[in-house]
Chain A
Amino acid sequence: MRPPSPSIVEKEFLYNSLKESLRIDGREPLEMREPTLSFGPELGWVECSLGKTKVIAQIEAKIVRPPPERPLEGIITIHSEISPTASSEYEFGRTSEEEVTITRMLDKVLRRSDAIDKESLCILANQRVWHLRLTLHFLADAGNMLDCACLAGIVALKHFRRPEVEVIGDEITIYPPSERAPFPLAIHHSPYCFTFAFFSDATIPPVLDPSQLEQRLSAGVTSIALNAQKEICVFQKFGGVPLLPKDLLAIIDIAVAKAQGLHQIVENRLKEDWSSRTVEFR
C-alpha cells in the first residue's frame, strides 16, 4: 500500500506553523531530537532512537577467505531491510523508494567513507580475513530513519569488539573473550549523517531532522554526512529545490556544529557503557 499523501488539513497547518518557525513537536527549526542509545548484552548491539524513530544495529564477525582481487582487506556488508514493523506503508518483498535511498546512503556513509580500516581486518593475507556483517532493523518510523540508521550503524561499529586472534606460521588461533580481551575495530573517523528538509515556499526555513509529516510534505531533502573533524564524507540532495551557495554553506556550518555535539554524546555513552561492563580474562 502506498502511503496516502497527508491530508489537506495537515498540509496547510504544517506550512502555516513552519512559516512562524514553529514545529509541531515544539522544536526549533534547526534543533535535532535528542538521540537515545542503549546497548545490549552483546558487544555491537545498539538500539538508537530519535524521538519515536527506532533502529537496532547489530554486528556479527566471522572469518572468511578474501576475494582474490582484494587479498589484504576485510569485508564489510550492510544489511538493511525496512519491514512493515516500521510503518504500515512498507511491504515485505517490495523495496520502496525510501529504502533504496537509505540503503545507498548507509553504504556511502559507513562503508565507502573508509571509516573502518579494512586492512586491519586481515588476519592472514590471501587466506583469512574478518567479515563484518552489520544488520539494521527498523522498528518504528517517525521520520528521518536515515540519520537514525547511520547513527546506530556507526555506534555499533564503535561498540563492537572482535575476538583476539594469533597467527603462528599458518596456524590461526581465535581466543574467546573469556581468555583474551576482545579488540576494538580500527576506526579512522566517525561520520554522522544530518538531514535537512526544504520546502517549496521560500519563506519557510529549512528544518533539521524532519518528522514524518515534515519529510512527506517537504519539496526536497539534503543529507550531509560528516565527522567531528569537519570532513564532509557524503553530500546528497534530493528533490529539485534550488539552493543558493550561501544557504548551502550555512547548513554545512550547522551540521559541523551538530556533528561535534553528537560525537561528544556518542563518546560519553560508549564510555559509560564500557565502564559498566566487566570483561574477564585470564
Chain B
Amino acid sequence: MSIIFPGESAPANHVNLKLGPGLLQVSSIFNDASDGETPRKRPVIIATKAGELKHSVKGSQWWIESNSRRYVPVLHESVVGLITQRLGEAYRVDIGSAHHASLDGLAFEGATKRSKPNLKVGSLVYARVSLAHKDMEPELECFGAQTHKAEGFGELKGGFVVKCSLEMCRCLLNPKHFLLPMLGRRFPLDAAIGMNGRVWVSAKNVKEHIIVSRCIEAVDPDGGGMNEDELKKFLHTLGV
C-alpha cells in the first residue's frame, strides 16, 4: 500500500495512461539532454488529494482512494440532490458540494415545453452530473447519457435519506459488497445511491428504514466500520 500526499508526483507511466480521481497531469517538463538526445517532453502526474495510490494490473489506470465527507462533483456520477430553488425554467439543486448545481426543467425523460415534471422546493431528485468543471457551476440531468431514457433517474418520492461518508457510497455501489444483499434477504427495499454521500432508501415501514440507516452507519468506515460477521450479530440485536 502506498500513501501519497497532495503535490507529490505519482510514478504513473504508460503509453495509454488513464487518470482517475485525485490525480492530475500538470505540465510537461523537458528531460535533461545531457546524453545528446533531443529534449523530450514527459508528462508529470501529481496527486491532488491525500490517500492510497492504486493502479490497475497493467499500470494503465491510476487513481487515489481516500475517504471524505465533502463531495466534489465529477462528470457522469449519480447524485441525490435536494431542490432548493426554482429559477424560471431551471432548478437549483443542493448536492452537498461547495456550489449549488443547476438542473434544467427539460432535462427529464420525455419532457417538452408543454409537459415537464413539476418539482417542489424540498423534493429530492436522483440525477447524473452532466457538467463538472472547476470554474463552472455543476449541472445535472435526469436521463441516461446515451439513451435519453430515465434509467432510474428522476424525483424520489417517499422513503428516507441516509447520509454517509463518500467511501461508504462507493462500497454500496459495488455489487460484491455484503450490506445491501444482506438487508435485501431480510426485507424488500429500494435504494438510490448518490456518490455525494446520500443514500435514498425506501422500505415498507419506519422500523425497516431505521434498520437500514443504522446498518449503513455501522458499516461506514467513518462510523462503526463493522465487517460482515459483526453486522450479522448487529442485525440480530435489532431483531431481524
* Residue in chain B with minimal CB distance to A14: B160
Q: Nearest Cβ distance between residue A121 and chain B, in whole angstroms?
A: 40
User: B114: shortest Cβ distance to chain A, in Å?
Assistant: 26
Closest CB in chain A relative to B103 CB, distance in Å: 14
Q: Which residues of B contact A11 (CB under 8 A)?
A: 122
Binds B, one of A18-26, A57-65, A74-82, A156-164: A18-26
The answer to whether B120 has its CB under 8 Å from any CB of chain A is yes
Q: Is A13 a contact of B209 with CB atoms below 8 Å?
A: yes
Q: For A12, list chain B residues within 8 Å (CB).
A: 158
| B161 and A24 within 8 A (CB) | no
User: Do B213 and A24 touch (CB < 8 A)?
Assistant: yes
**Is A276 in the interface zone, CB < 8 Å from B?**
no
In whole angstroms, what is the CA distance A237 to B107 when docked? 46
Verify if B94 is at the interface (C-beta below 8 Å from A).
Answer: yes
Please determine whether B123 and A8 come into contact, CB atoms closer than 8 angstroms: yes
Contacts of A275 in B (CB 8 A): none
Chain B residue numbers with a CB within 8 Å of A68 are none
Number of interface residues of B (CB under 8 A): 26
Asked if B214 and A5 make an inter-chain contact with CB atoms under 8 angstroms apart, the answer reads no
**Min distance, Cβ A73 to any Cβ of chain B, angstroms:** 43
Decide yes or no whether B79 CB sits under 8 A from chain A.
no
Minimum C-beta distance from A96 to chain B (A):
17
B29 within 8 A of A: no
The CA-CA distance from A23 to B217 in the complex, in Å, is 14
Q: Is the interface of A mostly helix, strand, loop or mixed?
A: loop
Of A5, A9, A25, the contact of B161 (CB 8 Å cutoff): A9
A70 part of interface (Cβ distance < 8 Å): no
Interface check A112, CB cutoff 8 A: no
Chain B residue with minimal CB distance to A25? B214
| Binary contact readout B107-128 vs A (1 if CB under 8 angstroms, 0 otherwise) | 0000000000000101110000
Q: A25-B217, A26-B214 are in contact. Are A7 and B123 (CB under 8 A)?
A: yes
* CB-defined contacts of B161 to chain A, threshold 8 Å: 7, 9-10
Complex: A10 Cα to B207 Cα, angstroms? 15
Known: A9-B159, A13-B206. A52 touches B223 (CB 8 A): yes
Report chain A residues within 8 Å CB of B217: 25
Q: Please judge, given known A-B contacts A4-B94, A7-B124, whether A13 and B159 are in contact too, CB under 8 Å.
A: yes
Q: A229 on the interface (CB 8 Å rule)?
A: no
Cα–Cα distance between A11 and B124 once the two chains are bound (Å): 12
Chain A residues with Cβ under 8 A from B210's Cβ?
A: 17, 22-24, 26
Query: Top 5 closest A-B pairs, CB basis?
Result: A13-B160, A8-B122, A17-B206, A4-B94, A4-B84
Can you report 17 A-B residue pairs in the complex whose CB atoms are below 8 A from each other? Answer: A9-B124, A9-B159, A9-B161, A9-B200, A10-B161, A11-B122, A13-B206, A16-B206, A17-B206, A22-B206, A24-B214, A25-B213, A25-B214, A26-B210, A26-B238, A52-B223, A88-B96
A-binding residues in B (CB < 8 A): 70, 82, 84, 94, 96, 98, 120, 122-124, 156-161, 200, 206-207, 209-210, 213-214, 217, 223, 238
